[in-house]
Amino acid sequence: MEQLKRMAVFATVVDKGSMVAAAEALGMTASAVSQQIRKLEQSTQVNLLHRTTRKLTLTEAGATFYQSCSQVLALAEEAQQRLAELRDAPVGELRIAAPVGFSGTRISNALVPLLQAHPGLTLRLMFHDEQIDLIEQRVDLAIRIGQMDDSSLVARYIGDSRMVLCAAPAYLLRRPSLTTPGDLLACDWIGLNADGANASHLQMVGPDEQVVKLRLESRVSCNNILAVRNFTLAGMGISIQPEEEIRSELERGSLRHILEQWHFPAHGIYLVTPRREAQPAKVRYAIEALRKHLLPH
């Protein structure tokens, strides 16, 4: 590393034409610059400069060596410029991971304006209901719902996702009226079980703050919320869904909210990054865009 520094000093001396001018450009003293050149010549065992009282001139070896040094200096300056661009403007590839249920319009509505405003930015979206390793997958930003357990991650809470019990009207016509959470034990349950389990554990809170805990065996078990939703729409049973994701189905009547007097504990929505320090601009801009569009309404 010291040799690279000396090469940069040498190239600056040649560019500026004198030790004094190079010292001013580098924020060093002229004697320190002279010492760096002397050490460079000693390490290479080649005279690089002819020194006279009036000016400095390159030796033949110095002229050849200067070409390489100037290229190294140019590459270093280019690298520094690229880092500044990454810090100050959204450029490069933005990698975002999100639950499958977010693959609708909310993320695209948030990120399309960002992509349109910054042509140097590219986007890679990865949808998983299972949590993935952000470091291993080189993910810049993840959307997660629920408890945040990994203390090495930085989680920014932006709101709560309201979970609701729902079923298709055709399924409800075949079942007795549902009035209490216990009635769910006799129903066909469609569960989102990313770990492959066949049972779901629910906790529900009643209008009088009564808490009921249930263990429901799944007739259909999926690791994908959209598959759970499709089986529910097909009248195969009851499932729990994020209310903001099925709002249109509830409005059309293709799904019905059941046991409306009961609710689930809040599921927080978080924007998660591997670390907070020195976040590139692409991540900062994406966090702000997603924060505005993903807040539950």
Q: pTM of the full predicted structure?
A: 0.62
Percent of the chain past pLDDT 70, that is, above it, reads 91
Helix (H, G, I), strand (E, B) or coil at 140: coil
Between 41-50, 82-91, 181-190, the lowest mean confidence (pLDDT) is in: 82-91
Phi, psi of 68 (to 5 degrees): -70, -40
Query: Rounded to a whole number, what is the distance in angstroms from the first to the last CA of the chain?
Result: 55
Once rounded to an integer, what is the mean pLDDT over residues 277-292?
A: 86
Q: Is the pLDDT of residue 190 over 90?
A: yes
- Close Cβ partners of 228 (under 8 Å, ≥ 6 residues apart): 190, 191, 192, 220, 222, 239, 241
Q: Is the pLDDT of residue 236 over 70?
A: yes
pLDDT at site 295: 67
Q: How many CA atoms lie within 13 A of 161 on its CB side?
A: 22
C-beta atoms surrounding 138 within 10 Å: 11
Locate the DSSP E strands across the chain.
49-51, 56-58, 92-98, 121-127, 141-145, 154-161, 163-167, 189-192, 199-205, 211-222, 238-242, 256-257, 267-273
**Model confidence over 40-66: pLDDT tens digits?**
888 888 888 887 666 788 888 888 888
Q: Which of 288, 289, 247 is nearest to 161 (CA)?
A: 247
Once rounded to an integer, what is the mean pLDDT over residues 112-133?
A: 89
